[in-house]
Amino acid sequence: MKRFLLAAAVAAASLAITPSVHAQLPREAGFNEIFSTDFMPRDMSLFVDFLELEDWQKPVLEALLGDYQSEYRAGEQGLRDKLTAMKDQIAGAGENGALTVLMKPIEEWKAEKEAMKQRFLDDVKGQLSDAQLERWPRLERALRREKQLPQGRLSGEKTDLIIVMRQIDVPLDNRLEAKDAIAAYETALDVALMERMKQQEASQPRIRKALTDNDPGSGLAELERIVAARIAVRNVTDAHIDALATAFGAEWGTKFRERAMRDAYPLACRTPPLDPFFENVLAIEDLSAEQLAQINDIRSRFNDSMSTLQGEFVNKVRQVEPERETERVRLAADAARNVQASKGEQEPYRDLITERDRLIEDARNRVIALLNEEQKAKIPGIDKYREKEEERVKPGSEDAKKRQTLRSDDGVLRSTGGDGLGTQSPNPGGKGGGDGTDAPR
């Protein structure tokens, strides 16, 4: 049902405005929210936990939720029937008029849906004690996190740091030490989510009007306001990753920061693939003291270089993503005003990804160059690695040319990035050389 209604709205919006715009404006026009139920059975646990419902209240809540869902389904079916009956009228309105015709019943449904939501909440409140009503703000914050965070579009905008804290199982003592930092995060996140909601509620009707009027300039202005609100949510995540990591202490703060950054910026902060490789090499029993020192030095320098690169990658993501959220609409608005405009970078992350791959390959080859044949044979998967390398570096291949530019006279791959990983000499002989505040209690 939702797919039918959403497809109808977006299809009409796509006809109503230039093709370069319809991928972005309808996405922020609120159609998805209009055609989504506000409460699902899985939300029951939030009501039960945060309001601390009595046993007798649970079946009452289930009955109220069932009534709400029945009313919602009936209203949604009514809208579908209405749109089906209007198909000839919509088709006859032409490209410019289709969305105008379609929007009237959609706006009526939006108001009806909001009234259903409020009735359900009022009915729930009518079953609560005074003590439970005092807990209502905690439930509202939990519902906002549950409903609003997944709507994030930017990296970091939909990351829940409370969930990250639970995923890595930060000990209770550390969480108690960090309770003020956790409370500050929850408050800041809730404020940012409310501001984003307010901006969306204000901008979405104007975006829908821009779609019907084929006015990308007005749509762009509202889209930029929404993107600014999205950036504000992302900024809360960024600031409180640091604050919570500090509050959790050295050991758990480091673990928390790594996991949180990986969740917030997966493209930039993926798990380094060489960790298992280094562990396997260091587990070889007959490594000399000098080999151990050299391998650990390579690993340390590699981690430092990767950390620096990740910081650059995160900054690039933070710059590029907001620009891409508005690029197509901005280009269309500029074209409508006969203003010459240029597109953003087509592959903004290519150089960063290439450098990351180079650092990984460089470090791995330096470590392998320190080992004798017997030691190399003890690395899991070394044969497949060799086969892959031989295939990749066949004479005349692009990979071979790239690798040759990195080789010094001794034949070992060298870094050209000044990261210091290329200072080790190979040793062909082997051994000798080289709780959240809002969490229900």
- DSSP labels, 14-47: HHHS-TTTTTTTGGGTTHHHHTS-S--GGGHHHH
Residue-level pLDDT at 244: 97
* pLDDT tens for the 441 residues of the chain, in order: 544 444 445 444 443 444 444 445 566 776 778 888 999 999 999 999 999 999 999 999 999 999 999 999 999 889 888 888 888 887 777 766 777 788 888 889 989 999 999 999 999 999 999 999 999 999 999 999 999 999 999 999 999 999 999 999 999 999 999 999 999 999 999 999 999 999 999 998 888 888 777 787 888 889 999 999 999 999 999 999 999 999 999 999 999 999 999 999 999 998 777 889 999 999 999 999 999 999 999 999 999 999 999 999 999 999 999 988 888 777 666 565 555 555 556 689 999 999 999 999 999 999 999 999 999 988 888 877 666 666 665 666 555 555 454 443 333 333 333 333 333 333 333 333 334 556 554
CA atoms 274, 277, 283, 284: torsion sign: negative
Residue 122 lies in a domain: yes
Is there a single domain that holds both residue 416 and residue 336? Answer: yes
Does residue 439 lie within any of the structural domains? no
Final residue of a domain: which of 240, 260, 280? 260
Whether residue 18 lies inside any domain: the answer is yes
Residues near 135 by Cβ (< 8 Å), separated by ≥ 6?
Answer: 50, 51, 52
Q: How far is CA 439 from CA 106, 139, 145, 172, in A?
A: 37, 10, 12, 13
Q: Is residue 438 part of a domain?
A: no
Report the pLDDT value the prediction gives residue 329, as an integer from 0 to 100: 73
**Contact in structure between 242 and 124 (CB atoms under 8 Å):** no
Q: Which of 98, 85, 80, 88 is nearest to 13 (CA)?
A: 98
33, 152: one domain: no
Q: At which of 134, 150, 179 does a domain end?
A: 134
Sign of CA dihedral 320, 324, 330, 331: positive
Q: Is residue 344 part of a domain?
A: yes
Residues 129 and 176 in one domain: no
Query: Is residue 288 domain-resident?
Result: yes
Find the CATH number of the domain harbouring 200: 1.20.120
Claim to verify: residue 24 and residue 106 sit in the same structural domain: yes
The pTM is what? Answer: 0.76
Q: Which of 210, 242, 260 is the last residue of a domain?
A: 260
| 277 and 398 inside one domain | yes
Question: Number of structural domains, the chain?
Answer: 3
Same domain, 6 and 92: yes
Domain co-membership, 272 together with 154: no
354 with 219, same domain: the answer is no
- Shared-domain flag, residues 1 and 111: yes
In a domain, 126, yes or no: yes
Q: How far apart are CA 283 and CA 260, in angstroms?
A: 29
Give the residue numbers spanning the domain of 151.
Answer: 136-260
Residue 412 lies in a domain: yes
Are 299 and 391 found together in one domain?
A: yes
